[in-house]
A and B are shown apart, each in its own frame.
Chain A
Amino acid sequence: MSAAELARDGPALHGPELAARLERTWSRDPGLLGWLATVDHKEIGRRYLVTAFVFLALAGVLALAMRVQLARPDQNIIGAARYNEIFTMHGTTMMFLFAVPVMDAVAIYLIPLMLGSRATSFARLNAFSYYVYLAGGLLLWIAFVLNVGPDVGWFAYVPLSGPEYGVGKRADIWAQMVTFTEVAALSVAVVLTATILKQRAPGMSLDRMPLFAWAILVTSLMVIFSMPSVALASGMLLSDRLVGTQFYNPTENGDALLWQHLFWFFGHPEVYIIFLPAVGFVSEITATFCRRPVFAYPVMVMAVVSIGLLAFGLWVHHMFATGLPRVGYSFYTAASMAVAIPTGIQIFCWITTIWLGRPRFAVPFLYVLAFIVTFVIGGLTGVMVASVPLDLQLHDSYFIVAHFHYVLIGGAVFPLLGAITYWYPKVTGRLMSERLGKVSFWLLFGSFQLTFFPMHLSGMLGMPRRVYTYPAGLGLELPNLLSSIGAFLVALAFVLFIANVVLSLRRGAIAGPNPWDAGGLEWATSSPPPSYNFAHVPSVGSAMPLWDGALQWMSGLRVDEKEMLLTTVVSARPVLREPVPEPSIWPFISALALTVMFVSSIFSPWAVLFGLLPLGIALIAWFWPKQLEPTAEPVIE
């Protein structure tokens, strides 16, 4: 068979016949094996999303437990030790198992659709990452249920987490959970970076790329350059605990502060790894609901890039209270305040977009407005604590708790809920209920302020974080009671949101391809998208191709094998037709082998050596090419 005879889409093959043949090529096998072997980014993205929300619910329940304990002074409903476990699990779950993976989830689902591609790059690595993430989450939570959950804070400072004070396996489980989530997050970062740089539709040059894709590109690069730090730090912690190295042991000239430096070199960029995808959500939603592109696109891109760079120069502001040289104080204060500049510019760009546009106050856009209000408050308290004298006063107090919940919930979770409401019709084919959406939105916005605003006051009154109770008579009763009442209302708002998600699956209005009349490529295909995303390759001539009538199509990809188009990095000219990996069980088995190795290495260092053998076999089977068919072209790597 010559290359010319291979089935390709084009004038001779389109419409329902093409759709049926592409569906045969791209759909996965039914049954459990097919489910475990799938490499479809939409399916993996949905799994990530559901899993991340399960962890959100679990961590949310822990938050409620803490608020019950703190509702009144001198209570002993939860003892000190259990309380340590609970705040550790809450923070660890929220940061490692919810905030980062949930952003990955949305990006894995949407990025190929936004770029007009049929798949992500390295589709099997993408599938692998999900199983590794799931295994890390299960390790943490099974340990918690078995009463060996970590109790050393989500940052696990040494010496508390070191061999001398962190007896038992609690800290090891924390450290190994970090390893799992790092492997997963790094894998996704590689997948997304390559996808964004190499798989954009022809004509989608960098200056026409959706702002969400810019945000995810910068986020992925930040993951690549920051996560090795916590992986190294937790590896050193494990080896201090298991094989007697002395990295953090001051009596053998190790240093506990080495942990803090390595942890925060990751930990601070982590905040922006959570925040920047939200910048992308807000930009997409604002453009659609104001019916105009976001004001000053190049400035927005530069702001995203400069936040990405500045985020690596801020980590020491988490360590002001450890005692630093004066130059260090000045430098990190200046850098911490400087990051407010690009962030502020973004806020003004969004406000200008709203000002110049014709805003429609639908639920996704309401979340944008709530984001702007709440994030600005959190940003301003951030500028306050960038100042060393004030930070020394407020460090480890509830003022900090208030600050980071304003920036993380206001800055990331509000935009996330807006994004879910906005893209829900694309994923499910139906719209969420607007009325129920508004009820849960207003309840959440109000109860969030009720929960976290009083924490500013209890913090300034001197209430420390991570302490299981507080004495009566210091003026802490009222703010704590308000926070506790608010927390339950927040939970109710989330229940309503989830109820809306579930009920709308059946009852929501049919959406059609583009219910919001938006301008991006993801709205050019059906809702939900077919397994192959697009029947033909879209070709774009502007940043908002569906608005500008600038969408054209290209033909010629293979129909009977999975194939996608690669384009050049800057100007997105077609360069290569790339085979997409077939579904494979081996990423799942590799993740399983990795899990056995990681978990057993908590108990014996030799497990690393013996665990390598099954892992190596699984990886070789993963990468070994499938049996060649007698076709004129290679079909799979």
Chain B
Amino acid sequence: MSDAPTFERDLADVPTSAFGARSLTWWGVIAFMAIEATGFALAIAAYFFLMAHEHSWPPEPWLPPDLLAGSLFTAVILLSEVPNTLAKRAAEKHDLPAVRQLLILMAVIGAVLLVLRGFEFNSLNVRWTDNAYGSVMWLLLFLHTTHIATDWADTLVLAALMHTREGEEDRRFTDTSENSLYWRFVWLTWLPIYLLLYWVPRWVP
């Protein structure tokens, strides 16, 4: 044992869990957000590219989508940021009972949003097969729906996990915090899409 290297530092005191940019989970979530944001940006670019081919938007004789379902959806998803922030804070304070309740609430909100989303598809007033306008409207709504569905599934699993003994682990609180971060991305990306689906067809002559 005489050939032991000399160590300039012992790392045993370095912590094993952290929130935000110190954790690896955060970087994974950020990277996937970058990928998906690029996808949204390019789909939006395609929307404007196709708009340039039309004399009016929506093209005659189609009507813009009905406002009710989409606007209700927008109101609910904006309000969901309140419990979302509470869940993130509770996770960062390691407040397990609060995290459990808030994750269930978020899962319920996700289910409500998916139902409203179904009505949205029904109120687009165009089918994806009708023309390129219809195709790109369905594309934007479909792309965003995949995000709602993914995060809903993620929240369900996390809520179940937090009700087991696993929920007491530090790392599960990091997971909850990053899940809330991802939900912010989901509703932030919805805002430009809401405008493009419901309002731009009313504003463009």
| CB < 8 Å neighbour of B24 from A253, A566, A620 | A566
Q: Is A633 in contact with B16, judged by CB distance below 8 angstroms? A: yes
User: Would you list which residues of chain A between 224 and 270 have a CB under 8 Å from chain B?
Assistant: 224-229, 231-232, 236, 239-240, 243-247, 249, 252-255, 258, 261-262, 265
- Asked if A539 lies at the interface with its beta carbon under 8 angstroms from chain B, I say yes
Q: Determine the chain B residues whose CB is within 8 A of the CB of A190 once the complex forms.
A: 28, 31-32, 35
Q: Is B136 in contact with A247, judged by CB distance below 8 angstroms? A: yes
- Asked if A207 lies at the interface with its beta carbon under 8 angstroms from chain B, I say no
| CB < 8 Å neighbour of B153 from A122, A229, A616 | A616
- Asked if A80 lies at the interface with its beta carbon under 8 angstroms from chain B, I say no
Q: Is B39 in contact with A249, judged by CB distance below 8 angstroms? A: no
Please name the residue on chain B nearest to A231 by beta carbon: B39
Alpha-carbon distance A569/B27, docked complex (angstroms): 11
Question: Which residue among A15, A189, A578, A633 has the maximum number of chain B CB atoms within 10 Å of its CB?
Answer: A578
Q: A228: shortest Cβ distance to chain B, in Å?
A: 4
Q: Is B43 in contact with A634, judged by CB distance below 8 angstroms? A: no
Q: Is B129 in contact with A255, judged by CB distance below 8 angstroms? A: no
Alpha-carbon distance A252/B130, docked complex (angstroms): 8
Alpha-carbon distance A566/B21, docked complex (angstroms): 11
Alpha-carbon distance A555/B5, docked complex (angstroms): 10
- Asked if B17 lies at the interface with its beta carbon under 8 angstroms from chain A, I say yes
Q: Determine the chain B residues whose CB is within 8 A of the CB of A633 once the complex forms.
A: 16
Q: A249: shortest Cβ distance to chain B, in Å?
A: 7
Q: Which of the segments A89-97, A151-159, A191-199, A326-334 contacts the partner chain?
A: A191-199
Q: Which of the segments A3-11, A68-76, A173-181 contacts the partner chain?
A: A3-11
Q: Determine the chain A residues whose CB is within 8 A of the CB of B8 once the complex forms.
A: 539, 552-554
Q: Is A232 in contact with B42, judged by CB distance below 8 angstroms? A: yes
- Asked if B75 lies at the interface with its beta carbon under 8 angstroms from chain A, I say no
| CB < 8 Å neighbour of A224 from B12, B38, B131, B136 | B38
| CB < 8 Å neighbour of B12 from A556, A566, A623 | A556
Q: B165: shortest Cβ distance to chain A, in Å?
A: 7
Alpha-carbon distance A628/B172, docked complex (angstroms): 13
Alpha-carbon distance A135/B135, docked complex (angstroms): 30
Q: Is B21 in contact with A10, judged by CB distance below 8 angstroms? A: no
User: Would you list which residues of chain A between 185 and 221 have a CB under 8 Å from chain B?
Assistant: 186, 189-190, 193-194, 197-198, 202
Q: Is A578 in contact with B11, judged by CB distance below 8 angstroms? A: no
Q: Is A555 in contact with B10, judged by CB distance below 8 angstroms? A: yes
Please name the residue on chain B nearest to A203 by beta carbon: B8
Question: Which residue among A197, A226, A228, A255 has the maximum number of chain B CB atoms within 10 Å of its CB?
Answer: A228
Q: Is A253 in contact with B54, judged by CB distance below 8 angstroms? A: yes
Q: Is B31 in contact with A224, judged by CB distance below 8 angstroms? A: yes
Alpha-carbon distance A247/B137, docked complex (angstroms): 11
Alpha-carbon distance A229/B153, docked complex (angstroms): 26
Q: Is A575 in contact with B14, judged by CB distance below 8 angstroms? A: yes
Q: Is B34 in contact with A224, judged by CB distance below 8 angstroms? A: yes
Q: Which of the segments B45-53, B106-114, B188-196 contacts the partner chain?
A: B45-53
Contact A576 to B14, CB < 8 A, known contacts A243-B129, A555-B7, A616-B153: yes
Q: How many residues of A contact B (CB 8 A)?
A: 70
- Asked if A446 lies at the interface with its beta carbon under 8 angstroms from chain B, I say no
- Asked if A557 lies at the interface with its beta carbon under 8 angstroms from chain B, I say yes
- Asked if A358 lies at the interface with its beta carbon under 8 angstroms from chain B, I say no
Count of CB-CB pairs between chains A and B under 8 Å? 188
- Asked if B199 lies at the interface with its beta carbon under 8 angstroms from chain A, I say no
Alpha-carbon distance A410/B134, docked complex (angstroms): 46
For chain B, give the interface size range.
Answer: 35 or more
Q: Is A14 in contact with B5, judged by CB distance below 8 angstroms? A: yes
Alpha-carbon distance A197/B172, docked complex (angstroms): 23
- Asked if B82 lies at the interface with its beta carbon under 8 angstroms from chain A, I say no
Secondary structure at chain B's binding surface: helix, strand, loop or mixed?
Answer: helix
Q: A538: shortest Cβ distance to chain B, in Å?
A: 10
- Asked if A450 lies at the interface with its beta carbon under 8 angstroms from chain B, I say no
| CB < 8 Å neighbour of A625 from B17, B133, B166 | B166
User: Would you list which residues of chain A between 1 and 40 have a CB under 8 Å from chain B?
Assistant: 3-4, 8, 10-11, 14-15
Q: Determine the chain A residues whose CB is within 8 A of the CB of B18 once the complex forms.
A: 575-576
Contact A577 to B132, CB < 8 A, known contacts A14-B4, A228-B35, A253-B50: no
Question: Which residue among B13, B16, B36, B133 has the maximum number of chain A CB atoms within 10 Å of its CB?
Answer: B16
Q: Is A198 in contact with B27, judged by CB distance below 8 angstroms? A: yes
Q: Is B7 in contact with A554, judged by CB distance below 8 angstroms? A: yes
- Asked if B95 lies at the interface with its beta carbon under 8 angstroms from chain A, I say no
Q: Determine the chain B residues whose CB is within 8 A of the CB of A556 once the complex forms.
A: 9-14
- Asked if B1 lies at the interface with its beta carbon under 8 angstroms from chain A, I say yes
Alpha-carbon distance A193/B27, docked complex (angstroms): 9
- Asked if A517 lies at the interface with its beta carbon under 8 angstroms from chain B, I say no
Q: Is A186 in contact with B11, judged by CB distance below 8 angstroms? A: no
Question: Which residue among B8, B54, B165 has the maximum number of chain A CB atoms within 10 Å of its CB?
Answer: B8
Alpha-carbon distance A252/B133, docked complex (angstroms): 9
- Asked if A300 lies at the interface with its beta carbon under 8 angstroms from chain B, I say no
- Asked if B61 lies at the interface with its beta carbon under 8 angstroms from chain A, I say no
Q: Is B7 in contact with A10, judged by CB distance below 8 angstroms? A: yes
Q: Is B24 in contact with A246, judged by CB distance below 8 angstroms? A: no
| CB < 8 Å neighbour of A553 from B7, B49, B50 | B7
Alpha-carbon distance A575/B169, docked complex (angstroms): 19
User: Would you list which residues of chain A between 559 and 580 have a CB under 8 Å from chain B?
Assistant: 565-566, 568-569, 574-579
Please name the residue on chain A nearest to B129 by beta carbon: A244
Q: Is B11 in contact with A232, judged by CB distance below 8 angstroms? A: no
- Asked if A536 lies at the interface with its beta carbon under 8 angstroms from chain B, I say yes
- Asked if A637 lies at the interface with its beta carbon under 8 angstroms from chain B, I say yes
Q: Is B46 in contact with A262, judged by CB distance below 8 angstroms? A: yes
Q: B155: shortest Cβ distance to chain A, in Å?
A: 12
Q: B128: shortest Cβ distance to chain A, in Å?
A: 5
Alpha-carbon distance A224/B32, docked complex (angstroms): 8
- Asked if A537 lies at the interface with its beta carbon under 8 angstroms from chain B, I say yes
Q: Determine the chain A residues whose CB is within 8 A of the CB of B172 once the complex forms.
A: 625
Please name the residue on chain A nearest to B10 by beta carbon: A556
Q: Determine the chain A residues whose CB is within 8 A of the CB of B128 once the complex forms.
A: 239, 243-245
Contact A253 to B131, CB < 8 A, known contacts A224-B31, A537-B11: yes
Q: Is A225 in contact with B34, judged by CB distance below 8 angstroms? A: yes
| CB < 8 Å neighbour of A255 from B4, B49, B59, B138 | B49
Q: Is B50 in contact with A254, judged by CB distance below 8 angstroms? A: yes
Question: Which residue among B25, B34, B132, B138 has the maximum number of chain A CB atoms within 10 Å of its CB?
Answer: B132
Please name the residue on chain B nearest to A537 by beta carbon: B11
Contact with B along A607-633 (1 / 0, CB 8 A): 000000000100010011100100001
Q: Is B27 in contact with A254, judged by CB distance below 8 angstroms? A: no
Q: Determine the chain A residues whose CB is within 8 A of the CB of B49 once the complex forms.
A: 255, 258, 261
Q: Determine the chain A residues whose CB is within 8 A of the CB of B11 once the complex forms.
A: 537, 554-557, 565, 574, 577
Q: Is A553 in contact with B32, judged by CB distance below 8 angstroms? A: no
6 contacts between A and B (CB under 8 A): A8-B12, A193-B31, A245-B128, A246-B135, A253-B131, A554-B9
6 closest residue pairs by CB, A with B: A556-B11, A245-B135, A254-B132, A556-B12, A228-B39, A244-B129
> Which chain B residues have a beta carbon within 8 Å of chain A's beta carbons?
1, 3-18, 21-25, 27-28, 31-32, 34-36, 38-39, 42-43, 46, 49-50, 53-54, 59, 128-136, 138-139, 153, 157, 161, 165-166, 169-172, 175
Given contacts A552-B8, A576-B14, A578-B16, 11 further A-B contacts (CB under 8 A): A8-B12, A10-B10, A15-B1, A189-B31, A190-B35, A246-B132, A252-B130, A252-B131, A576-B15, A576-B22, A577-B14
